[in-house]
Amino acid sequence: MARRKIKAFGSNVLKSGNSELAYYKKLQKVQNTDAIYPLDAPGLPPLPPNSAFVAHANALGDTEAAVVEVTVPDENGKSKKVRKVTPSELLASFVQDALRKPGFQMPVSIGPHREKVADFVPGHL
């Protein structure tokens, strides 16, 4: 079979055969969709309070995005701390880009008063 190059997300990838081309088209369709769960969906683990996504959104002027810990009573009457996410469009777009776009980069805190630009692997946060 003839081998040909397909431009895939900013890099050249060799593909051969129809099955690999079908897989590539399916992968591209999934990666380019806007469908992600809402950040405050039930059962979805909330972002940590010191999340780099929230910090970057706030640094860019987003006042809506926040992760706070609130105390709520459980079924036994005892109080427990629960994290609540207040999502914004900018925060959701950062999470979506980190999950879907290869080569997504964002500054993250690596210590007190120290930041480094992190590369994200699609599908992983």
Q: Which domain holds residue 29?
A: 1-33
Structure tokens at 4: 């040909």
**Pair (71, 38) in one structural domain:** yes
Where would I find the beta strands (DSSP E) of the chain?
4-8, 11-15, 66-73, 79-86, 105-111, 114-119
The per-residue pLDDT string of the chain (125 residues; one tens digit each, 9 = 90 and over) reads 445 555 544 455 555 567 778 777 777 766 666 667 788 888 888 888 888 999 999 999 999 999 989 898 888 888 988 888 888 999 988 988 888 888 999 999 888 889 999 999 888 87
pTM: 0.65
**Pair (14, 64) in one structural domain:** no
**Pair (42, 93) in one structural domain:** yes
Interhelix angle 89-100/52-59, rounded to 10 degrees, is 130
Q: For residue 124, tell me if it sits in a domain.
A: no
Count of domains observed in the chain: 2
**Pair (53, 98) in one structural domain:** yes
